[in-house]
Amino acid sequence: MYAADGGGGAAGAGQLRRNYYAGVCPNVESVVRDAVSKKFQQTFVTVGATVRLFFHDCFVGGCDASVVVASTANNTAEKDHPNNLSLAGDGFDTVIRAKAAVDAVPGCRDRVSCADILAMATRDAIALAGGPSYAVELGRLDGLSSTASSVNGRLPPPSFNLDQLTALFAANGLSQADMIALSAGHTVGFAHCNTFSGRIRGPSMDPTMSPRYAAQLQKSCPPNVDPRIAVAMDPVTPRAFDNQYFKNLQNGMGLLGSDQVLYSDPRSRPIVDSWAQSSVAFNQAFVTAMTKLGRVGVKTGPQGNIRRNCAVLN
């Protein structure tokens, strides 16, 4: 249905380049970095929230900031699809604040897309948490529509196995190695109890989970827990963007089924082992995967515009 748009990666990616705003808003990257840094100082949730927002944006019709658009009386937007209701408000707030900071610079107002601001903010959040810094390709336009119905079947549920994950990422021009690298974004993430409760108690208790970790999670997530309670996805270094995610998988401490399957399936285990051992190799693979993710379904020319308000279609 969306093949030319969200699938196959790089439809409009040819126009992306590192210094895209050099002639218009030359300091855009430092302006965005400063805004993200201020937000990060207020709450660490900024990191996981922004990274996840970028992923959810790119996998639904491409990296076009359509996930940031608010619903109206006659349109239910992407962000109000059930799969997006758990996106933390801090990610949206990061984009809105960075956009305001860019618009406050003479010459930059309404010249930089929300899609590019989200791509830059994601890079900055990762670096602030100690992850690899990388050059971001720029030149995306903002999408002209945002509908909840377009989200169906585009995002991986925590129940996906390796084949399902690999196929969904392949539809977006990403390899299995890219998928495994991007999954490690969970090193700075949080998850609500209902996304993994089936793995920690009852008849479907997951044998691939460390019993000690399961006991710890049962304490954090008692049977009638407040649905708003969230748990750090990396219990060892929850505030560092690092390769601990892969070491956790080796120890049966992947929080979601779709995390642990990367180790329990013998086909993906060698990459997990290799990145658990080498943070240099992981960082390199992660930067490659993020760059490819940022090229998915890019809008150019008449397919997009530069939104004046990231939450409202022009």
pLDDT digits (tens, 9 = 90+) for 16-44: 999 999 999 999 999 999 999 999 999 99
3-state secondary structure of 211: helix
Which residue is catalytic, options 33, 39, 52, 56?
A: 56
pLDDT digits (tens, 9 = 90+) for 242-257: 999 999 999 999 999 9
pLDDT digits (tens, 9 = 90+) for 183-204: 999 999 999 999 999 999 877 7
pLDDT the model gives residue 11:
52
Mean of pLDDT over the chain: 95
pLDDT digits (tens, 9 = 90+) for 69-126: 999 999 999 999 999 999 999 999 999 999 999 999 999 999 999 999 999 999 999 9
pTM (predicted TM-score) = 0.95
Measured between alpha carbons, how far is 115 from 67 in angstroms, rounded to an integer?
10
Topology classification of domain 27-155 = Peroxidase; domain 1 (1.10.520)
pLDDT the model gives residue 26:
97
Measured between alpha carbons, how far is 127 from 22 in angstroms, rounded to an integer?
22
Homologous superfamily (CATH) of 162-293 is Peroxidase, domain 2 (1.10.420.10)
Question: Within the chain, which residue ranges are assigned CATH 1.10.520.10?
Answer: 27-155
How confident is residue 8, by pLDDT bands cut at 50, 70 and 90?
A: very low
Is 103 annotated in a binding site? The answer is: no
Is 259 annotated in a binding site? The answer is: no
Is 226 annotated in a binding site? The answer is: no
Average pLDDT over every residue of 159-175? 98
Question: Within the chain, which residue ranges are assigned CATH 1.10.420.10?
Answer: 162-293
pLDDT digits (tens, 9 = 90+) for 212-233: 999 999 999 999 999 899 999 9
Is 106 annotated in a binding site? The answer is: no
Average pLDDT over every residue of 309-313? 98
* Both tokens assigned to 51: 């990274």
Respond yes or no: is residue 56 known to be catalytic: yes
Amino acid identity for residue 140 in this structure: R
